Structure 1
Amino acid sequence: MPSENEWAEFKHNNSDPQMIGEYLSAISNAAALNGQPFGYIVWGIQDSSHDVAGTSFKPRQQKGQGNEDLEPWLNNRLAPRINFSIFEFNADNGSPMVMFEVQAANTAPVAFSGRRFVRVGSHKKPLSEHPEKERRLWEIVSGPAVDWSAGICEEASIADLDPEALTLAKTEYVNKHTNDPRKEHLVKEVWEWDDETFLNKAKVCINGKITRTAILLLGRPESTHYLSPSVAQMSWILKDEDGLEVDYQHFEPPFLSAVDDLFARVRNLTVRHLPDGTLFPIEVSQYDPWVLRETLHNCIAHQDYSCGGRINVVEQPDSLLFTNLGKFIPGSVEEVITRDAPQEFYANPFLARAMVNLNMIDTIGSGIKRAFTLQRNRNFPLPTYDLSQENRVQVRVIGRILDANYTRMLMSQTELSLLDVVALDKVQKQVPITDEEAKSLRSKKLIEGKRPKLHVSADVAKATDTMVDYLRKRGIDKEYCTKMVKDLLKQQGKAKRTEIDSLLKEKLSDALKDQQKKDFITNLLQKLRREGEIEVHGKGPAAYWELSKNE
């Protein structure tokens, strides 16, 4: 080959792990777009002249971020997983060379650390910036696009639609377009249209023919046989603290109104919390109604109805779990947040457009961003997306503050980007974060520790009165108990015996009984006092310890 192309990249010595991962994504996607079974990254080639110059890159000695071996580090961050082979060899002139042979994307566009890339000429670019390539890639990996939701139910008629749902649809259509001056005439005319005209203009029907979308959103319950063997059903399931099912109810079309019927079963309790800068608690509902509706409406829009499964809303103590079958088309939450334009490829494009017209969902992608922002502003944890299963999306909305002090500080960082807030939220939930997320948070001094045991940083902990918890999470073992006590007193200024006990007890051997642990801490404090390193003031429960003035 005389030069690079979209599925072949030449390098000299650049061996940055993040760069390699992004190129694996880009080359895999580009190979699929170009009809190649594999793509290649070759080290040992001069960038400018393309002369064979050899390389000092040794992939099997290279480490990923966090000191993990490079190959498994890369594998763990590719989604979906693709095969890549590493070859080390000498060129004809004896120069050491390295080549990665990368499998072409075959089930979905390949992402690295939640971001999808592609080659445009000889340049690596985010796939989201090239919607035509993204659309074509989806068609290649998923086969020719067939929109299930646009299918015609030949024997169905307007009589199979629910009259009350039709009236509600017209109301929501007006609400959707009221503030759009370009649609002012539609708002005035909609109530004069007959049902067929409205359904065509709202893009729920096609030329007066009843679509599967029309049955899903507006159909009478008894009309669902037109969708067979697909299942059109949502289920609310109530579980107790032990995960046992306590109650349930199934909901059929019309989904336009069934969503409200389902949420009427959810116990949206009132909770109290202290916002920043006040001593007076405020009362808020566990769940923001807009967030719940947006989440469930997205389940409806993206459900793979051909799989024959239901959409589930599982109510558990302090959380709601939404599940639907199908792929999460954007690939990751990070991709949604960083994408400047709306998603170009949808699982059910006809259904999604109809739901936008009926005011059920925002343009795909912007709704997710808004849901995250609403939760952030309420000082509640962000929605958690579990995309670990091949053809299932799970979203958990938590209805309580996990750590009031930490959350207040997290949300008070108003200058943080939404990506940083998402990453901090993962730390709060003890969910692993990527190297890039960790690097960004460390640069702002918001986290400490070694992955996977990351925790809130000292600066944040000191401001939120969680210093004891901070030091406990550092994972220092018994021989450093003295340092732990001094760190606590240095950062906090002073500490009561109960705080010191709380800090040290869990670090002492499980072989010690509670009294033995208490005696150990007493002896340690007495020793430090005798050596003039710490001082005690007061007696009894009110006594407190602080560093000696000489320290």
Structure 2
Amino acid sequence: MQNIGFKEDLTHEFKSDRTCLSDGDIIDAVVAFANTDGGDLYLGVEDDGEITGLHPYHKDSTQLAALIANKTVPPVSVRVEILSFSVPVLKVSVPRKTAVVASSAGKIQRRRIKADGTPENVPMYPYEITARLSSLSLLDFSAQPVADAGYDDLDPVERERLRNIIRTYRGEPQLLELSDEELDKALQFVVLQNGKAIPTLCGLLMIGKASAIKAHVPTAEASIQVLSGTDIKVNESFHLPLLAAFEKFHATFNAWNTSEEMEMGMFRISIPAYDPRAFREALVNAFCHRDYSMLGRVRMAIEDDGLTISNPGGFIEGINADNLLDAEPHGRNPVLADAMKRIGLAERTGRGIDRIYEGSLLYGRQLPDYSQSNATSVHLLIPKGPVDKAFIQMVSEEQQRIGHSLPIHSLMTLNALKVLHRASVNEIASFLHKDEARIRSVLESLAESGLVDASGTGRGRTYLLSERYYRLTKKPYAYVRSHDINTLRYEELIMELAGHQGHVSRADVVELLHVTPSQAFRLLQKLVKAKRLALTGKGAGAKYIPKDSI
């Protein structure tokens, strides 16, 4: 029998139809896809991929699509098509829904991967529905009133701490003029129900008593670890209101955040192991964007290789590790995030992620790393690493010259060239996971400012950090090597291709090196003058043959 050629996974499901699969099983599979990442259901395929074909009852694709729409709430519109194999197979393509979907019988399911790597459909429990809605930005969990909590669960001591933070971090000064009750309402710490002020999750998290937080929000746990090799220096877990937790995190961070000094002209500047502003924004993000319906902890770990901050709850819908800097700012807990901004703890523009990246880039260190994040947690590593003093001085001097900070994409592009040495627009865009048009614009702006040198035209145009940077590194030979290396490398690549084919044309060189036809012609003529190639033919039929093969 014929095999379909791939295996089941999170977005592909096989169903046998030899005995006519029930409508209920089809609806359950569609609901599970809609509540996860969408996917394709193949009807008439066994679990091992063997194609056994459709039952005659399911050969009317229009009827099946209508059945699915009628048996799902809200209705799921699917695309149904019959695939032509040795026997027919029905493919049902299910979109990912931006709402929680149930069957008309009331079953709510989702897909997951089992320990053996195969997928399965499982029930979606009430707390998972809340998490799903939060990740889709359809529910602000932090704005919900906390059942059984009372106004006396808010701590006057924490409210005074809040006022001190507003003063220290230059939050909205108008908040300081409000009474306690007015302040709680302004920051949405309470909602009125039947004339009584009931704490919201945001209010309880921000200024609630520790005992009330542990009783009503047991998921709101945090931990701090400091490790030196395998030696544990600090290891604490606690349930505290966020503002008290922040002070505890900051005290530990400040105690272990070492620094070194650098001379710049007449001044000495201190370079911390981790930028305090980047740390603060990372911590704010962890608390504001965590999923409070999930068990887990906001965790800070300071280790030999870097600072880790992680939180329960994956990236929300539309956000991933590659588009963090470009995506429209929006979070899982808007009311909590808004309170953080208004009291001065969070970046008011909603671009705190820029601060996190800037904190590493300004010191010439490796980029923050979100690659270990997954569907259930966000994991940020800020690498420690050595500082690049030449990079720091070059950026600092340029910022003093222009009178403002360099944009984050300019810093990222400079950092990419530091790693790649010499690269094209395509190579830099691929390295940074950014759009080529944007990177090209950034590079040309940097070239105009003298921070980057450019050579070539069109697709063959390449860039490298300017001589200014290499002069500051006291390694001018590195600039000369990077500046001239392409010509030498191009010649060897042309000779290698000529050796493989027995000849090479100008079109071959254009395709090989992504240079213009005129650049290709000059490279070939140089090799002819060096007596490494010989020209045969004319015009479109011109070929260049290795001398040693003549």
Between the aligned partners of 1:308 and 1:317, the Cα distance in structure 2 is 28
Distance 1:429 1:106, change over 3 A: farther
Q: Which amino acid aligns with 1:351?
A: L
The two structures have a TM-score, normalised by structure 2, of 0.50
Query: What residue is the counterpart of 2:201 in the other structure?
Result: 212
Q: Does residue 1:232 correspond to 2:225, yes or no?
A: no
Matched, 1:148 2:141: yes
C-alpha separation between the residues in 2 aligned to 1:475 and 1:103?
54
Aligned to 1:536: none
Partner of 2:295: 308
Q: 1:473-512 residue pairs with structure 2 within 5 A?
A: none
Residue 335 of structure 1 deviates from its aligned partner by 5.5
- Taking the TM superposition and a 5 Å limit, the aligned residue runs for 1:21-60 are none
Aligned with 1:305: secondary structure? coil
Q: CA deviation at 1:227?
A: 3.7
CA distance in 2, matches of 1:143, 1:295: 22
The residue type paired with residue 407 of structure 2 is S
Task: Using the TM superposition, give the Cα deviation of residue 310 of structure 1 relative to its aligned residue in structure 2, in angstroms.
Answer: 0.9
Distance 1:222 1:216 in 2: 11
Letter in 2 for 1:354: A
Greater alpha carbon shift after TM alignment, 361-370 vs 434-443: 434-443
Going from structure 1 to structure 2, the CA distance change for 1:178 and 1:210 (only over 3 Å counts) comes to closer
Is 1:424 matched up with 2:414?
A: yes
Aligned counterpart, 2:152: 159
- Aligned residue in 1 for 2:234: 247
Q: Does 1:362 align with 2:347?
A: yes
Q: Partner residue of 2:186? A: 201
Say if 1:107 and 1:142, in contact at 8 Å, map to a contact too: no
2:475 is matched with which residue?
A: 466
Are the structure 2 counterparts of residues 211 and 140 from structure 1 closer, same or farther at C-alpha, using a change threshold of 3 Å?
closer
Aligned to 2:377: 392
SS in 2 for 1:153: coil
Residue 401 of structure 1 contacts residue 407 of structure 1 at CA under 8 Å; is this kept in 2? no
**Gap change, CA 1:455 and 1:389, over 3 Å in 2:** farther
CA contact (8 A) 1:165 1:218 kept: yes
1:222 aligns with 2:222: no
What does 1:85-104 correspond to in 2, within 5 Å?
A: none
* Residues 55-84 of structure 1: CA deviation (Å, up to 9, x unaligned): xxxxxxxxxxxxxxxxxxxxxxxxxxxxxx
Q: Give the SS at the match of 1:273.
A: strand
Distance in 1 of aligned mates of 2:340 and 2:381: 22
CA distance in 2, matches of 1:103, 1:224: 41
Residue 284 of structure 1: CA displacement? 4.0
CA drift of 1:144 comes to 7.8
Residues 203, 447 of structure 1: alpha-carbon distance in 2 compared, 3 angstrom cutoff: farther
- Distance change >3 Å, CA 142–CA 337, structure 1 → 2: closer
Distance in 2, Cα, partners of 1:37 & 1:255: 39
In structure 1, how many angstroms separate the alpha carbons of the residues matched to 2:394 and 2:314? 35
What CA distance in whole angstroms lies between the structure 2 residues aligned with 1:149 and 1:374?
29
What does residue 389 of structure 2 align with? 404
Distance 2:476 2:304 in 1: 29
Tell me the secondary structure at the aligned position of residue 274 of structure 1. Answer: strand
Pair 1:352 & 2:341 matched: no
In the superposition, relative to structure 1, how do residues 306 and 256 fare at CA in structure 2: closer, same or farther (>3 Å)? same
Q: Among 239, 252, 256, which residue is 1:265 paired with?
A: 252
Partners of 1:447 and 1:226 in 2: CA distance: 61
Per-residue CA deviation, residues 383-410 of structure 1 (Å, 9 max, x unaligned), is 4444753343233335565322234335
C-alpha deviation, 1:232, in angstroms: 1.0
Q: Check 1:312–1:272 CA distance in 2 against 1; reply closer, same or farther (3 A cut).
A: same
How far did 1:353 drift?
A: 2.2
Q: 2:365·2:388 contact (CA, 8 Å) conserved in 1? A: no
Shift of 1:438: 5.8
Query: How far apart, in 2, do the equivalents of 1:442 and 1:177 lie?
Result: 36
How far the C-alpha of 1:197 sits from its partner, in A, is 3.8
Q: Is the 8 A contact 2:298 2:311 kept in 1?
A: yes
The structure 2 residue matched to 1:282, chosen from 257, 269, 274, is 269
The one-letter code matched in structure 2 to 1:365 is G
Q: Return the letter of the residue paired with 1:326.
A: G
Percent of aligned pairs with the same residue? 21
**Aligned partners of 1:149 and 1:350 also within 8 Å:** yes
Consecutive unaligned residues in structure 2, runs of 5 or more = 1-33, 41-92, 100-130, 421-429, 456-461, 493-550
- Tell me, in whole angstroms, the C-alpha distance in 2 between the residues paired with 1:37 and 1:447: 47
Tell me the distance in 2 between the aligned counterparts of 1:237 and 1:469.
41
| Pairs within 5 Å for 1:112-127 | none
TM norm structure 1: 0.50
> Separation in 1 of the partners of 2:140 and 2:152?
24
Aligned residues: 337
**Greater Rg, structure 1 or structure 2?**
2
Cα drift, residue 142 of structure 1:
5.6
* Gap change, CA 1:205 and 1:262, over 3 Å in 2: same
1:292 corresponds in structure 2 to 279
Q: Give the drift of 1:311.
A: 1.0
For residues 159-188 of structure 1, the C-alpha deviation after alignment (integer angstroms, 9 at most, x for no partner) is 3233321211233456678766xx4xx533
What is the letter of the counterpart of residue 171 of structure 1? N
CA deviation map 1:430-469 (0-9, x unaligned): 79323627645654463899xxxx9954635543323455
Kept in 2, the 8 Å contact 1:235–1:310? The answer is: yes
Q: Aligned letter for 2:240?
A: P
**Partner Cα distance (1:399, 1:365) in 2:** 25
| Rounded Cα–Cα distance in structure 2 between residues aligned with 1:141 and 1:297 | 18
TM-aligned CA deviation for residue 244 of structure 1: 6.1
Equivalent residues of 1:107, 1:141 under 8 A apart = no
1:337-348 paired onto structure 2 within 5 Å: 343=329, 345-348=330-333
What are the superposed Cα offsets for residues 278-314 of structure 1, whole Å, 9 maximum, x if unpaired?
Answer: 2764334433433322220111000012221111111
Letter of the 1:390 partner, please give it: A
Q: What is the deviation of 1:233?
A: 1.5
Shift of the 425–370 alpha-carbon distance from structure 1 to 2, 3 Å rule, reads same
Unaligned runs of 5+ in 1: 1-31, 39-101, 109-137, 484-551
Shift of 1:237: 1.4
- Taking the aligned partners of 1:254 and 1:331, their CA distance within structure 2 comes to 28
Is the 8 Å Cα contact of residues 322 and 394 (structure 1) preserved in structure 2? yes
Q: Distance in 2 between matches of 1:425 and 1:265?
A: 30
